[in-house]
Structure 1
Amino acid sequence: MDFEQLSTVRPETTGEAPEDVLHRVFGYESFRLLQGDIIREVVSGGDALVLMPTGGGKSLCYQVPALVRTGTAVVISPLIALMQDQVAALTELGVKAAFLNSTMDFHQAQETENALMTGELDLLYCAPERLIQPRTLNLLKDASLSLFAIDEAHCVSQWGHDFRSDYLELSRLASEFPGVPRIALTATADERTRKEIAERLSLTQARHFISSFDRPNIQYRIAPKTNANKQLLDFIAAEHSGDCGIVYCLSRNKVDATAKLLQKQGYNALPYHAGLDSNTRSRHQERFLREDGVIIVATIAFGMGIDKPDVRFVAHLDLPKSLEAYYQETGRAGRDGNPSTAWMVYGLQDVIKLRQMLEASQGNDHFKRVERQKLDAMLGLCEVTQCRRQVLLRYFGDTLDQPCGNCDTCLNPPETWDGKVAVQKALSCVFRTGQRFGVTYLIDVLRGSENERILQSGHQAVSTYGIGQELSANEWKSVFRQLVANGYLRADPEGYGALQLTEECRALLKGEVAIELRKDPVQKAGKSRGTASGSGSNRGRKFADEVEDKEAWEALRACRKALADEKGVPPYVIFHDATLFEILTKQPETLADMAEITGVGAAKLEKYGDQFLAALKPFLRTR
């Protein structure tokens, strides 16, 4: 047979059923919703486009077919750290996995290539820029391939928030490997992005599998920004002291300053951004993955594909540019299914800054129009008075019939007020002062301040001077924020922060239409978290909170930590907290008992079963 044709011949399967692989290798009894259908489609040789939320089990959708079909599955992954973590986790399961990336020397790369050519690998992870090199493509043409998995497929979309030009070249896989099934996976894509993914990856004929985007264990909370640093410290101290979390900031300087602030308060906080050298970034990510209670303060450069299951909170100190970005970043919390928090503060300056950045971008009119729509949707989520989860899901084409009961607007419904007169005053003040001033100055005029700047400008003589004393400065900030968020005012595109009227405000200024404004809630530290009614998971915030025998729990965790350190992998690669909790609850006494624990596959049972039975033995209850 001609080697060049070898990879285009549909491989036979091993004969093992997907459900048997799931139990034998991964230690799970059954597939989650849609997983079984996706896996059967790929095993039979079909292509698939999969949209599934973070923590929904996307990896199994290609890992199981890779073990059922003969040959090597090639997984295209955008991040070196991610592929290294996944290979380490698969190796612990007894799966023959490897990666090809720029961290390898010539000898290591050659060893991996030889393993591919001799059929010794079940899965090979590769970065897109490495895959599209002629040498790599020629190598793959001489290998026996079972499938291609394109992870983080939204990176192919120019409307997405993580666009990578190398992904555009992946459409070649359809023509150069026509007999090899392809599966593209992502957690975030609206209808426009889904269509673009299918077109750019030549997957227009593939079956689409769209899971619910709902993450019911995540509590969404958004508050007006007053003193962001104090608000963050109060939030962590009241609800997540000692927990692992991620704090996102827009700039590198803010990342560094916030990390130092948290460190001074005694938190194990580490910065992560592109301005740090690669060794520092790798070291900080490694500590985040392997240690308990680490808080990473980062720009959006951090987190894609991070598999850490016990991130209890994701905080935003700056407004994301789109709901796609917000959903993916908040989705890094609570992958273990336990209650977690997505917390954000935002203010008028966030809105002004993002609008100015958008208008100053080099994109064409169509690009700017799409980006405006995305930002408007993000602002809509912030200012909404109904269930936030319903609004978020609706954006992705998903529905929730009833309010979720597990977001701030459900737990503490916001009040609204008739803003018609206040809005007229605000808009009129912008007009009377020449549309040349920022919000602080405008509020000073409305409230009748006698500061030197107003007196020098002569604005104490305009008709709007002093007509807004019925509202506090913060209440006026809320009015202006909502006017900008809803497109009635815009920030000066030249970048000086001045507010200007838009055509949309004409009817409001004339008083021809009514407008209801959101009353900003008074934040009370430690009181904002409620019961997650209807949220799917009603377990406590941490497994440790439910444990009665704390000594036994810590013994199991110590056993896991020792094994993880010995192997050089994060503790969750050995066992997730959920598995430890089940061991503690079911009290296994034999390896046969251990085999029935969720998450204990054949390889891990052989490697670690005796150690965990020994760790548990002193604490076994009398039966």
Structure 2
Amino acid sequence: MAETFDRRITRILADLKIDFPLKTLQKVCLEKLANRLDVFAVLPTGYGKSLLYAILPKLMLEVEDNLQCAIVLVISPLVSLMKDQVANLKKYSVESIFLGEEHDRDTLEHIQEGKFPIVLMSPEAYFSGSWRGLLTSPPYQKFVQSIVIDECHCAEQWGDQFRTDFSRIGELRSIFPKANLLALTATATPKTRKHIAEILCMRNYELVITSCDRPNIMHVSIRAPNTVQDTFYWLCSKIQEQKHETEKCIIYCRNIKTCGILFLYLKENLGAENSYKGTPSARNCYYAMYHHSTSQKNKKIIIETFPKQDSAIRVIIATTAFGMGVNIPDVRVVIHWGAPHTFQSYMQQSGRAGRDGLQSLSVVYFHPTDISKTATDENCKTFCTTQSCRRKYLVQHFTPEDTTCVADLHTCCDICKSSCSCSACPDLHPSCLIIEDNDMVQALTESESRSFRTVTHTQRLSIKRKIEELRKKMISDLNINTSILNIGLLTGLSEKVIEDIVSNVHYIFATEDILTEHVYDEELAQNILNIVEDVLGVEEK
């Protein structure tokens, strides 16, 4: 009796010492590939797309009769990505080779004889390099069973002008007419998928797709202040207080200049005493900068150090040069300082957060100039400025076939959190407590008639907690069942009201500053003022 596909996969996983089950859509992809079909897989970041081609060589050996060996050719956009994949494949005892660096004579002979089951290369390595003859040699013509295009959205993004060899990837179909093709990406709209399929000559393919939603990532968009100080004072405070225990954060800047501005701000305000874990060095600094002009030495330090759980480097200030192919499971916050150039870029980069499945955050600090028609696309502008759910907008744009969203209101997006009235809402992250641009302009223009003071993110969090404790006491004193009532209406302290108070606490000196603007009960206003004075101290206007 023929062995079932599930049993075959179970046995292959055991052979590769993979001690966890495949996800449903991983199995769907592999079963279709085993049936010699082309597959276009659109799966969320962190879903485990690279595991598919780790399994493919053994799977093809199983399904093809009289096959001595099976080679899977992987086309990948970045050297760092390919090197990372070679290292990851070793964990599964899968031999692989990256064609793009110097090899010794023995390794070259093994490559030429087709002894590596997975061969990774860039389009340029084949079309513009010296490896073209290799792929037309008898071993490769006989044994290449599948072609994988990793990060296949690059074929559309880069193929026209930037890296034109991407537009020629479809030529591989004529060189390996019997090989099936697997296209992998996390971000491709229906229109983009159609274009990519044309470039790759995928006329008949099986689409495997699921909602692009990552429930553990909360999406926030804030119109940012005008200065780096007003935007990132919270980060300075956080590093100063928590040092090497600061949660990992990637800050994407629109250009190298703004990377430098933010790096210099941290350096000048933290000083050497708050910038290093131990001896001052690039490896021990709590923050680092990564862009195409960063030295290879520093890039290597970042790539080797930042993914480690105990890395001294906690914050990466980067352009889009950082991220693709770098697997860092415990990044808690991704920030875009300035709206991304495209909505697809936002989708890719926000997905760097929370790959370990823990609750994480993606924040956009936008300015009117970087959401203009020439600065970003219309979809990204709408995402940044919409007053409806950002998560739903994102999911409906990228995977309209599956718009499933399962996040709680208070961890969905900033819009949904403001309407959440549950009593279990987590504290706002300090990155979300900055004074928005309009408020800062108002504060500056009203400085003579309306006083305001500096409030740290730690103080804001403390005030928020104390107001929430006040709300709980009010509910307890009422001694009624709150499950059928709106807590915000009952106490006058909805989540939105609390957030407004915390965001504007720099203006609060008296009960008059609280009444009408935030609450309408004098006793409640006095209780809130007592909390503010307890945390900030009594200060005259």
TM-score by length of 1: 0.58
Q: Flag structure 2 segments of 5+ consecutive residues without an equivalent.
A: 61-68, 276-285, 421-436, 450-495, 506-541
- Which among 258, 261, 265 is matched to residue 257 of structure 1? 261
| Inter-CA distance 29–147: structure 2 relative to 1 (3 Å threshold) | same
8 Å contact from structure 1 (residues 72, 116) kept in 2 = no
* Distance in 2 (alpha carbons) for counterparts of 1:187 and 1:161: 21
Paired residue for 1:248?
252
Quote how far apart the aligned CAs of 1:249 are.
Answer: 0.5
The yes-or-no answer on 1:131 pairing with 2:126 is: yes
Quote how far apart the aligned CAs of 1:411 are.
Answer: 1.3
* Distance in 2 (alpha carbons) for counterparts of 1:20 and 1:322: 43
| Inter-CA distance 324–21: structure 2 relative to 1 (3 Å threshold) | same
Q: Give the 3-state SS of the residue equivalent to 1:55 in structure 2.
A: coil
| 1:578-598 deviations in Å (ceiling 9; x for gaps) | xxxxxxxxxxxxxxxxxxxxx
* Distance in 1 (alpha carbons) for counterparts of 2:80 and 2:133: 26
Paired residue for 2:339?
319
- Which among 308, 311, 320 is matched to residue 292 of structure 1? 311
Paired residue for 1:22?
13
Paired residue for 1:380?
382
Paired residue for 1:219?
218
* Distance in 1 (alpha carbons) for counterparts of 2:335 and 2:117: 38
Q: Give the 3-state SS of the residue equivalent to 2:365 in structure 1.
A: strand
| Inter-CA distance 311–523: structure 2 relative to 1 (3 Å threshold) | farther
8 Å contact from structure 1 (residues 150, 185) kept in 2 = yes
Quote how far apart the aligned CAs of 1:96 are.
Answer: 0.9
The yes-or-no answer on 1:283 pairing with 2:301 is: yes
| Inter-CA distance 43–157: structure 2 relative to 1 (3 Å threshold) | same
Whichever residue aligns with residue 232 of structure 1, its letter is F
| 1:297-330 deviations in Å (ceiling 9; x for gaps) | 1011111121121222111111112221101001
Paired residue for 2:393?
391
| 1:126-171 deviations in Å (ceiling 9; x for gaps) | 1110022474232122222131111010011149999632211110
* Distance in 1 (alpha carbons) for counterparts of 2:264 and 2:13: 44
Q: Flag structure 1 segments of 5+ consecutive residues without an equivalent.
A: 1-13, 359-374, 415-438, 449-468, 470-517, 528-623
Paired residue for 1:57?
48
| 1:239-259 deviations in Å (ceiling 9; x for gaps) | 995222211001212112212
Q: Give the 3-state SS of the residue equivalent to 1:271 in structure 2.
A: strand
- Which among 291, 299, 303 is matched to residue 273 of structure 1? 291
Paired residue for 1:498?
none
Q: Give the 3-state SS of the residue equivalent to 1:157 in structure 2.
A: helix
Paired residue for 1:189?
188
Alignment of 1:146-165 (within 5 A): 146-158=145-157, 164-165=163-164
| Inter-CA distance 211–197: structure 2 relative to 1 (3 Å threshold) | same
Paired residue for 1:306?
326
Quote how far apart the aligned CAs of 1:26 are.
Answer: 4.9
Q: Give the 3-state SS of the residue equivalent to 1:184 in structure 2.
A: strand
TM-score by length of 2: 0.66
| Inter-CA distance 162–401: structure 2 relative to 1 (3 Å threshold) | farther
8 Å contact from structure 2 (residues 158, 164) kept in 1 = no
Q: Give the 3-state SS of the residue equivalent to 2:131 in structure 1.
A: helix
**How many residue pairs align between the two structures?**
399
Paired residue for 2:231?
231
Alignment of 1:439-458 (within 5 A): none
8 Å contact from structure 2 (residues 333, 353) kept in 1 = yes
* Distance in 2 (alpha carbons) for counterparts of 1:335 and 1:236: 25
| Inter-CA distance 155–329: structure 2 relative to 1 (3 Å threshold) | same
Quote how far apart the aligned CAs of 1:38 are.
Answer: 0.2
Q: Give the 3-state SS of the residue equivalent to 1:205 in structure 2.
A: coil
The yes-or-no answer on 1:34 pairing with 2:25 is: yes
- Which among 340, 345, 355 is matched to residue 335 of structure 1? 355
8 Å contact from structure 2 (residues 36, 180) kept in 1 = yes
Quote how far apart the aligned CAs of 1:280 are.
Answer: 3.0
Quote how far apart the aligned CAs of 1:44 are.
Answer: 2.6
* Distance in 2 (alpha carbons) for counterparts of 1:149 and 1:245: 31
| Inter-CA distance 315–278: structure 2 relative to 1 (3 Å threshold) | same
* Distance in 2 (alpha carbons) for counterparts of 1:327 and 1:22: 31
| 1:530-564 deviations in Å (ceiling 9; x for gaps) | xxxxxxxxxxxxxxxxxxxxxxxxxxxxxxxxxxx
- Which among 410, 414, 417 is matched to residue 411 of structure 1? 417
| Inter-CA distance 59–253: structure 2 relative to 1 (3 Å threshold) | same
* Distance in 2 (alpha carbons) for counterparts of 1:334 and 1:117: 41
8 Å contact from structure 1 (residues 154, 160) kept in 2 = no
Quote how far apart the aligned CAs of 1:43 are.
Answer: 2.4
8 Å contact from structure 1 (residues 151, 185) kept in 2 = yes
